[in-house]
Amino acid sequence: MCNINRNHKNSVFSSLFSTPEILRELYSAIEGVTIPPDIRIDINTLSNVLFMKQINDVSFLIDKRLVVLIEHQSSINMNIPLRLLEYSGRIYEKIVDIEKKYQKNLVKIPRPEFIVLYNGMDPYPDYSELKLSDAFMDIEGLKMADAGKIPLELIVPVYNINHGHNPEMLKRCESLYGYSFFINKIREYQTQGLTLEEVITPVIEYCIKNNILKEYLEAHASEVWNMIFGEYDREMDIAVNRREAREEGREEGREEGREEARKEARQYFLELLNQGLTKEEIKEQLQ
What one-letter code names the amino acid at 229?
F
Produce one character per residue of 147-176: b if its CB has 16 or more CB atoms within 10 Å, e if not: eeeeeeebebebbbbbeebbeebbebbebb
Per-residue DSSP letters for 192-244? TT--HHHHHHHHHHHHHHTTSSHHHHHHHHHHHHHHHHHHHHHHTHHHHHHHH
pLDDT digits (tens, 9 = 90+) for 110-133: 999 999 999 998 999 999 999 999
Contact predicate 19/60, CB 8 Å: no
Question: Is pLDDT larger for residue 283 or for residue 91?
Answer: 91
Contact predicate 76/120, CB 8 Å: yes
Q: What 8-state DSSP symbol labels residue 129?
A: E
- For residues 41 and 63, what is the distance between their CA atoms, to the nearest angstrom? 6
Where does the chain show beta strands of DSSP type E?
Answer: 41-43, 47-48, 53-54, 58-62, 66-73, 111-118, 127-131, 155-160
What's the confidence (pLDDT) of residue 251?
52
What's the confidence (pLDDT) of residue 247?
56
- For residues 204 and 226, what is the distance between their CA atoms, to the nearest angstrom? 13
Residue 66, judged by CB atoms within 10 A of its CB (0-12, 13-18, 19+), counts as: middle
What's the confidence (pLDDT) of residue 277?
56
Looking at 102-106, 122-126, 273-277, which range is the least confident one? Answer: 273-277
Quick one: which H or E segment has residue 92?
helix 80-95
What's the confidence (pLDDT) of residue 238?
42
Looking at 26-35, 49-58, 111-120, 180-189, which range is the least confident one? Answer: 49-58
- For residues 58 and 69, what is the distance between their CA atoms, to the nearest angstrom? 6
Tally Cβ neighbours within 10 Å of residue 23: 22
Tally Cβ neighbours within 10 Å of residue 83: 15
Question: Is pLDDT larger for residue 138 or for residue 218?
Answer: 218
Query: What is the widest separation between alpha-carbon atoms in the chain?
Result: 65
Pick from 212, 191, 187: which is nearest to 200 by CA?
Answer: 187
pLDDT digits (tens, 9 = 90+) for 239-253: 445 555 555 555 555
Domain boundaries, given as residue ranges, for the chain: 12-184
- Portion of the chain with pLDDT greater than 90, in percent: 53
What's the confidence (pLDDT) of residue 30?
97
